[in-house]
Structure 1
Amino acid sequence: MVPDAEFRSYYGRPVLKPPVWKHEIPAYLFTGGLAAGTAVVAAGADLTGRPALRRVSWLGSFAGLLASLWFLVSDLGRPERFHHMLRVVKPTSPMSVGTWVLTAFGPGVGAAAVNELVPRRWRNTWPARLLNRLARPLGLSAAAIAPGVASYTAVLLSHTAVPGWNEVRDELPFVFTGSAAASGGGFGMVFAPVEENGPARAFAAVGAAQELVASRVMEHKMGLIREAYEHGHVARFGRGAEWLTIAGLAGTVLLAGRSRAGAAASGLALLAGSACQRFRVYEAGVETTKDPKYVVVPQRERLNARTS
């Protein structure tokens, strides 16, 4: 009997180099999604006359945006590199498109958040009146851009050569946008009063359901890379994401509309589940670069399928 082939790399070197990104990147993925989700909730609160929910959501979106930029620039090492990315527009590059989407998203969120912080005694000054007049249309435009902010990171990851990301390129944007919606709604449930958190509850429930379904579909369609998602610390992140999201969804439907404590607990579960989901996907991708079989076997399968 011929023994099974071992997929060894050339002189012990991996077929692919592992990503050089540090743990700032999954944190950036989470906070960017949170900024997008809370922006949509803030716009919904604005349009339905819920000032408390609008205020906390715009402030949460702005805080998430600043945190995501800090994590991104921290990983880049040199802050001016973000400025360098604005020198070109390349529609075929997810990084270039994502940079411009984030740049278009930021001013509207910033204007809406700063407008919420203007003290009442300054409201009659002309700068405050001008800001108040511009904040709503700028904020609504940012909310319209928010789905792009929530999904472009999934496109960015899945258009690399990393098998753990590339093999799930069709499902990953749905996982990330659902996760962003769940975290944005969860944030509103934590900080807004119960009588105003209706849009946040609805948005969180839809997002959590989408994340759970999309994750299951993604797992079902995985080939060999499923091993990387089901072992070690990646599997723990996956179980945490699933169970926290299920608990948050159940609490959102059953408790969040009745109890302030129930709303806060459900929102925190959704936020934690969303963070676990981003770390799960990131760590799984890194794991698939360490074993040559995740690169070689799918390549051979695709080659055999084309030649058969």
Structure 2
Amino acid sequence: MSQTDVRLDGSAELRGEREATPGSAGRRRERLMVPKADFDSYYGRPVLNEPTWQAPDIAGYLFLGGLAGASSTLAAAAELTGRPHLARSAKVGALGALGGSLYCLIHDLGRPERFLNMLRVFKVTSPMSVGTWILSGYAPQAACAAATGVTGLFPGLGRAATVGAGLTGPAVATYTAALICDTAVPAWHEGFREMPFLFAGSAAAAAGGLGMLAAPLSES
């Protein structure tokens, strides 16, 4: 509860954290005794360091990787349900998207050998290390599935590669969500529970759109 002191001239002064002064229109306006806080980091440095990656490369890597993984899963489902045209277009689309995604990743790394260096170890706590091994196991199966689907050779091998790529596809489409969330950016880090579902939904929508464009209407 605030108290006032009465001066000799009859004016009152408010004691406390704020000081009241008479306004021009007879109203009392409060004047802060403590200046407003200025939120700033030490020595004027940014609170978060700017990302070192290039936006077009990483955006292409994320989108095309998700498209590749979801297309392989769609190709496997189409293969097992008797939709050959949809399966073939999804296999080719997966291989093309995978190639574009790897190009964007290697281009952002600067040197191709940096990607190979990540295969020297397997670190469970590193999304990039786990993702590198996922891509290494997925890429040959996706390439084999697309090659056999286009040429018609070795159908048994092609079916096995299609199913294998389809089973690995969800991991390819969603591991990048863990990669994005494993950063200091609060908006990304706090959404680590929802981000995999977002990436999976986006990849499935992209693969479905590609299938509708490339396959006959009866199979899409």
Shorter-chain-normalised TM-score: which range?
0.7 to 0.9
Q: Please say if 1:30 is aligned against 2:63.
A: yes
5+ long unaligned stretches in structure 1: 198-308
Q: CA deviation at 1:182?
A: 0.7
Out of 188, 193, 205, which is 1:165 matched to?
A: 188
* Separation in 2, partners of 1:25, 1:106: 19
Q: CA deviation at 1:153?
A: 0.4
Q: CA deviation at 1:78?
A: 0.1
Q: Give the aligned length.
A: 187
CA RMSD in angstroms comes to 1.2
- Say whether the 8 Å CA contact 2:149–2:158 is kept in structure 1: no
Q: Please say if 1:68 is aligned against 2:101.
A: yes
Q: Please say if 1:57 is aligned against 2:57.
A: no
5+ long unaligned stretches in structure 2: 1-31
Out of 19, 33, 40, which is 1:8 matched to?
A: 40
Q: Name the CA shift for 1:115/1:18 in 2 (closer, same or farther; >3 Å).
A: same
* Separation in 2, partners of 1:94, 1:37: 19
Alignment of 1:264-283 (within 5 A): none
Q: CA deviation at 1:147?
A: 1.0
Q: CA deviation at 1:28?
A: 0.5
Q: CA deviation at 1:116?
A: 2.1
Q: Please say if 1:133 is aligned against 2:156.
A: yes
Out of 167, 187, 208, which is 1:144 matched to?
A: 167
Runs (4+) off by over 4 Å: none
Q: CA deviation at 1:55?
A: 0.8
Deviations 1:166-211 (A, max 9, x none): 11111111100111111111110111110011xxxxxxxxxxxxxx
* Separation in 1, partners of 2:172, 2:36: 45
Alignment of 1:89-104 (within 5 A): 89-104=122-137
Residue aligning to 2:10: none
Q: Name the CA shift for 1:12/1:115 in 2 (closer, same or farther; >3 Å).
A: same
* Separation in 1, partners of 2:66, 2:189: 20
TM-score by length of 1: 0.59
* Separation in 2, partners of 1:108, 1:144: 10
In terms of fraction of residues, the more strand-rich structure is: 2
Deviations 1:239-260 (A, max 9, x none): xxxxxxxxxxxxxxxxxxxxxx
* Separation in 1, partners of 2:87, 2:120: 34
Alignment of 1:77-226 (within 5 A): 77-118=110-151, 128-129=153-154, 132-197=155-220
Letter in 1 for 2:163: L
**Identity across aligned pairs (percent)?**
51
Letter in 2 for 1:21: W
Q: CA deviation at 1:51?
A: 0.9
